[in-house]
């Protein structure tokens, strides 16, 4: 009887472990609480502090890797290794226009987040989703492409949003400070 209980205990531990899948797996096609793992280390070369100048502003990106981050997309719950971008945008006089660098963002909040979705082109291009800022202004997609070990090319495409007083209180900052452009070069610091 004791041997049966030990075998059942081992089976329970093994079957409770989340299944692992490659990073680019469609999360809608896997069991709940599965793990999309960076098995090929596609994320690592993007980690670091990156700077660029654009339209009299300096943009600094702080790209970090988060391991085993839980995502709860209503009926889909899964873990994923991701890149997370926090940023600081300063004008020509070094005044901060916008910063997420020291924000603590709840895991259920998309506002102010920039999370990687997947890598393309053998890991040389990373696609990101940006949750936007106040009233979801600026939400959209970002593509970062490795040029070499010290430079990445940036393309940011914000989606359109219609705002009125019912969706966004008057006086709310609805400016997009991230560079809305293609082929902006960021250099690793």
pLDDT at site 11: 44
Q: Are 48 and 63 in contact (CB under 8 A)?
A: yes
CA distance 174 to 82: 27
Every domain of the chain and the residues it spans: 19-188
CA distance 88 to 65: 18
Q: Which has the higher per-residue pLDDT, 84 or 106?
A: 84
pLDDT digits (tens, 9 = 90+) for 130-177: 999 988 899 999 999 999 999 999 999 999 777 777 788 889 999 999
Angle (CA) 48-130-39 rounded to 5° is 55
Supply φ then ψ for residue 26, to 5 degrees: -70, 115
What H or E segment, with its residue span, contains residue 7? helix 2-16
At 121, list the tokens.
Answer: 């082109």
Residue 113: pLDDT band with limits 50, 70, 90: very high
């Amino acid at each position: 009887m004791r041997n049966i209980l030990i075998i059942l205990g081992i089976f329970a531990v093994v079957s409770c472990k989340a299944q692992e899948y490659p990073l680019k797996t469609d999360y809608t096609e896997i069991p709940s609480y599965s793990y999309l793992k960076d098995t090929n280390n596609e994320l690592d070369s993007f980690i670091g502090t990156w700077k660029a100048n654009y339209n009299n502003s300096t943009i600094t990106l702080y790209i970090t890797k988060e391991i085993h981050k839980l995502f709860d997309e209503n009926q889909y719950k899964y873990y994923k290794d991701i890149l997370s971008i926090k940023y600081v945008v300063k004008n020509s006089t070094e005044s901060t226009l916008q910063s997420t660098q020291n924000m603590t963002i709840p895991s259920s909040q998309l506002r102010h987040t920039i999370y990687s979705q997947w890598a393309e082109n053998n890991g040389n291009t990373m696609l990101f989703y940006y949750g936007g800022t106040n009233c979801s202004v600026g939400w959209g997609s970002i593509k970062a492409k490795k040029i070499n070990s010290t430079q990445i090319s940036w393309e940011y495409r914000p989606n359109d949003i219609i705002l009125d007083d019912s969706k966004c209180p008057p006086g709310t900052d609805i400016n997009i400070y991230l560079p809305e452009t293609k082929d902006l070069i960021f250099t690793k610091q």
